[in-house]
Amino acid sequence: MTAVDGDRPAGRRRRVTSADVARAAGVSRATVSYVLNDVPNRNISQATRELVRSTAKRLGHMPYAPARALRSGRTNLVLALVPGFGIGFLFDKALDALNTALAARGYALLVHHHAEALRSITDLWGLVSPALVVTTGGLSADERAAVEYSEARLVDVDGIVSFPRIGRMQAEYLLSKGHRRLGFAMPGDPHLQVFADSRLSGVRQVCAEAGLPEPVVEVVDFERADVRPAVASWRDRPEPVTAVCAHNDDVALVLMAGLETMGLRAGVDLDVIGVDNVPIAAIGVTTVAIDIDALAGVVVDSVLAELDDRPAPDRDGEFLHLVVRRSA
Amino acid sequence: MTAVDGDRPAGRRRRVTSADVARAAGVSRATVSYVLNDVPNRNISQATRELVRSTAKRLGHMPYAPARALRSGRTNLVLALVPGFGIGFLFDKALDALNTALAARGYALLVHHHAEALRSITDLWGLVSPALVVTTGGLSADERAAVEYSEARLVDVDGIVSFPRIGRMQAEYLLSKGHRRLGFAMPGDPHLQVFADSRLSGVRQVCAEAGLPEPVVEVVDFERADVRPAVASWRDRPEPVTAVCAHNDDVALVLMAGLETMGLRAGVDLDVIGVDNVPIAAIGVTTVAIDIDALAGVVVDSVLAELDDRPAPDRDGEFLHLVVRRSA
DNA sequence: CTGTTAGCGCGTTCAC
DNA sequence: GTGAACGCGCTAACAG
């Protein structure tokens, strides 16, 4: 850790405004603005342009975002509201793709971990005022309303990949293998609950449609890898659970590792299926894979379309496929 | 994906300003500001307060961040400049802790994936103007200078945990086990290169100090789990590498899984040591563990201290310890 | 006590 | 190429 303060004893550095540049260059503020923004159809001599630019650089002028935004009535900010950092492999990939695409169009992608309990949307808007908000379905009805009522556009990427659909695929595969009592492994992280519930609902549907009992839900805490209670709950019952849908591959891997320490084996004593097909899943996790690039592409297209006032692109791609390995 | 646009046919909603609220409530703009901000020592009747608040709510007024920031000369934004999303377990934990601590003090933490190739700091400042920037040492000299020259404060969390120190711990442990030819497994992700190089430097130091040859560096690509070339490079040489320091546990896990598919075993045919002690490492990865909570605490303290103009807190904690499992 | 007037901050852009 | 008004919220000075 390096505290960097340079030589600012008490009063901090004064901002260098475009007026300072204008004064130093001996031109008007309007000229400075036109030059620095490359405004077309403004006949400004090359000499003046160079003078303004060099003066700005010499003085260390940086445009001041709030003033610019206030005057133009809009920001070039896209705010991604996430339910927590490190939400997952796919998510991070999509954010990276979005970041690059937006940078090329002069927008900045900002990621904020928003929680209603911590701060309201209204209060957040007093701190940052985005042109567009990207969410993952993690907003309450009130929050959605607040965003929609503000001048910000809203793109909800929830549903590009149907989470219930993923749960359905897991369950359908397990039933096709002859299982009749399913379990569901929830992650311990509360931020992931929303997603997990959504996947679980798909598993529930399939069980209900097949006339089977509800899936037995247990938490497999990612942090402390003690899965004994969960495994006991699944196996020590009159009609034992024989196969478990894990929220994702990470949960599946923790579960599988735990089974091994108990002298049990995934795919033999208990079938386990994950979601995501993360790289490490290659060690033997049967999983529902999601096509990252296609997914990221749709997210990017959706956001850009909304920014351009174009209709939202078709989102009915097929991003899911089953990868069968030894765990189920 | 749901495109949410409500009923805004062509022209989008006009902003509801505090002037609108003042007009509707029949009071002055000043009164509105005093009420909504709970400014002390302002004797405003309870009736007026309620009137203003209810009117603001009825009209759906939200404070407009740029105007507020322009007037007050400062924002309440903390910008974390990261070299990529999904940088790692520890990082995400620290960001979450920071987010919570900052929210309690009226600041918003925004995470931005910044790359010099995509946009300069100067241009970024035209889009968002933070009060403080948190980095992980990923800035170039020019970028550092730009940040330091702006009115934003800068806290660099690089070095809270010494990356070379981590590499040293890995190497020292392996040498203590009798190994004399070390390898280093780099991650494929270019965003992680900076960190990996730093860890590698520690390994290099230890080898040099012990009079041993340089560690043999190979990339273990996280995305495509084919580790055969890397393993071949380590083993197929006159003096084979017998132990590998992996950049982190994820890399170690991919490597271990790859070894297994080759009919080899980590800890037997090749020793492997990771970093982070991620949950899944419990399956048997020997690793350098980092105390997350202590680390996050120092990050939070450093940022809050800088915001409060207090001196940076002591950072000389000991966050590292070795966890020996079966992989080395 | 209760509330108002007026000017500011900084970059943008219309009219000249 | 310039002058000047503007956007929106904050707050010192002031008035009933």
pLDDT digits (tens, 9 = 90+) for B144-162: 999 999 999 999 988 788 8
Q: Which nucleotide is nearest to A71 (CA to C1')?
A: D7
Q: Which nucleotide is nearest to A126 (CA to C1')?
A: D9
Separation in Å: D9 C1' and A129 CA: 14
Please write the tens of the pLDDT for every residue from B88-111. Answer: 778 888 999 999 999 999 999 999
CA–CA distance, B160 with B302 (Å, rounded to integer): 10
Coil, helix or strand at residue A96: helix
Residues 82-101 of A with CB under 8 A from B: 84-86, 88-89, 91-93, 95-96, 99-100
Mean pLDDT throughout A74-78?
95
CA–CA distance, B193 with A325 (Å, rounded to integer): 31
CA–CA distance, B191 with B109 (Å, rounded to integer): 21
Residue B136 has what pLDDT?
Answer: 87
Mean pLDDT throughout B197-215?
97
How many C-beta atoms surround the C-beta of residue B307 within 10 A?
Answer: 17
Q: Which residue is nearest to nucleotide C13 (CA to C1')?
A: A30
Query: If DSSP states are collapsed to H, E and C, what string results for chain B?
Result: CEEECCCCCCCCCCCCCHHHHHHHHCCCHHHHHHHHCCCCCCCCCHHHHHHHHHHHHHHCCCCCHHHHHHHHCCCCEEEEEECCCCCCHHHHHHHHHHHHHHHHCCCEEEEEECCCCCCCHHHHHCCCCCCEEEECCCCCHHHHHHHHHCCCEEEECCCCCCHHHHHHHHHHHHHHCCCCCEEEEEECCHHHHHHHHHHHHHHHHHHHHCCCCCCEEEEECCCCCCCHHHHHHHHCCCCCCCEEEECCHHHHHHHHHHHHHCCCCECCCEEEEEEECCHHHHHCCEEEEECHHHHHHHHHHHHHHHHCCCCCCCCCCCCEEEECCCCC
Mean pLDDT throughout A27-34?
95
Q: Which stretch of A205-214, A271-280, B107-116 has the lowest confidence by average pLDDT?
A: A271-280
For the segment 38-67 of chain A, residues whose CB is within 7 A of strand D = 42-45, 47-49, 67
Measuring CA to CA, which residue among A48, A203, A196 is closest to residue A136?
A196
Please write the tens of the pLDDT for every residue from A34-44. Answer: 999 999 888 89
Residue B12 has what pLDDT?
Answer: 60
User: Are the C-beta atoms of residues B125 and B102 closer than 8 Å to each other?
Assistant: no
Chain A residues inside the 8 Å CB shell of B63: 122, 125-126
Measuring CA to CA, which residue among B270, B265, B274 is closest to residue B177?
B270
Residue B7 has what pLDDT?
Answer: 40
User: Are the C-beta atoms of residues A269 and A234 closer than 8 Å to each other?
Assistant: no
The answer to whether A157 faces chain B, any CB pair under 8 Å, is yes
CA–CA distance, B103 with B290 (Å, rounded to integer): 26
Mean pLDDT throughout A164-184?
97
Residue B41 has what pLDDT?
Answer: 82
Residue B5 has what pLDDT?
Answer: 43
Residue A161 has what pLDDT?
Answer: 84
Q: How far is B156 from chain A (nearest CA, A)?
A: 5
The rounded percent of chain A whose pLDDT value lies above 70 is 94
Q: How far is A308 from chain B (nearest CA, A)?
A: 12
Confidence class for position B223, pLDDT limits 50, 70, 90: low
Q: Which stretch of A5-19, B46-60, B72-86 has the lowest confidence by average pLDDT?
A: A5-19
Query: And the tokens for A12?
Result: 């901090």
| Candidate from A69, A85, A107 with C-beta closest to B92 | A85
Residue B2 has what pLDDT?
Answer: 47
Decide if pLDDT at B303 tops 70.
yes
Please write the tens of the pLDDT for every residue from A275-284. Answer: 999 878 888 8
What average pLDDT does chain B have?
90
Burial of B50 (0-12, 13-18, 19+ CB in 10 A): exposed
Q: Which nucleotide is nearest to A42 (CA to C1')?
A: D1
Residue A108 has what pLDDT?
Answer: 97
Confidence class for position B4, pLDDT limits 50, 70, 90: very low
Residue B224 has what pLDDT?
Answer: 64
CB contact under 8 Å between A158 and B126, yes or no, is no
Q: Which stretch of A132-141, B194-203, B312-321 has the lowest confidence by average pLDDT?
A: B312-321
The answer to whether A208 faces chain B, any CB pair under 8 Å, is no
The rounded percent of chain B whose pLDDT value lies above 90 is 72
Residue A12 has what pLDDT?
Answer: 61
Q: Which nucleotide is nearest to B45 (CA to C1')?
A: C2
A–B: how many Cβ contacts below 8 A? 245
Residues 274-293 of B with CB under 8 A from A: 279-280, 282-283
Decide if pLDDT at B8 tops 60.
no
How many Å from the N-terminal Cα to the C-terminal Cα in chain A? 47
CB contact under 8 Å between B153 and A5, yes or no, is yes
Q: Which stretch of A35-44, A128-137, A285-294, B8-17 has the lowest confidence by average pLDDT?
A: B8-17
Residue B3 has what pLDDT?
Answer: 47
- Tokens 């807190």 locate to B313
The rounded percent of chain A whose pLDDT value lies above 90 is 72
Please write the tens of the pLDDT for every residue from B22-47. Answer: 999 999 999 999 999 998 888 889 99
Q: Which stretch of A189-193, B30-34, B114-118 has the lowest confidence by average pLDDT?
A: A189-193
Residue A226 has what pLDDT?
Answer: 78
The answer to whether A128 faces chain B, any CB pair under 8 Å, is yes
Confidence class for position B55, pLDDT limits 50, 70, 90: very high
CA–CA distance, B63 with B78 (Å, rounded to integer): 19
Mean pLDDT throughout A160-176?
94
The answer to whether A265 faces chain B, any CB pair under 8 Å, is no
Residues facing residue B218 across a β-bridge: B185
Measuring CA to CA, which residue among B324, B307, B111 is closest to residue A86?
B111
Please write the tens of the pLDDT for every residue from A289-298. Answer: 999 899 999 9
Q: What is the DSSP letter of A313?
A: P
Decide if pLDDT at A16 tops 70.
yes
Separation in Å: C9 C1' and B113 CA: 30
Chain B residues inside the 8 Å CB shell of A77: 127-128
Chain B residues inside the 8 Å CB shell of A69: 65-66
To 10 degrees, the CA torsion angle through A211, A213, A219, A222? -40
| Candidate from A65, A112, A126 with C-beta closest to B125 | A65
Separation in Å: C11 C1' and A153 CA: 24
Which amino acid is located at B77 in the chain? L
Chain B residues inside the 8 Å CB shell of A66: 65-70, 75, 129
Measuring CA to CA, which residue among A77, A78, A73, A95 is closest to residue A86?
A95
Q: Which stretch of A92-106, B83-97, B201-215 has the lowest confidence by average pLDDT?
A: B83-97
Decide if pLDDT at A269 tops 90.
yes
User: Are the C-beta atoms of residues B98 and B118 closer than 8 Å to each other?
Assistant: no
The answer to whether B11 faces chain A, any CB pair under 8 Å, is no
Which amino acid is located at B300 in the chain? V
Which amino acid is located at B226 in the chain? D
CB contact under 8 Å between B63 and A125, yes or no, is yes
The rounded percent of chain B whose pLDDT value lies above 70 is 95
Which secondary-structure segment (H or E) carries A245? strand A243-246
Decide if pLDDT at B127 tops 80.
yes
Q: Which residue is nearest to nucleotide D10 (CA to C1')?
A: B71
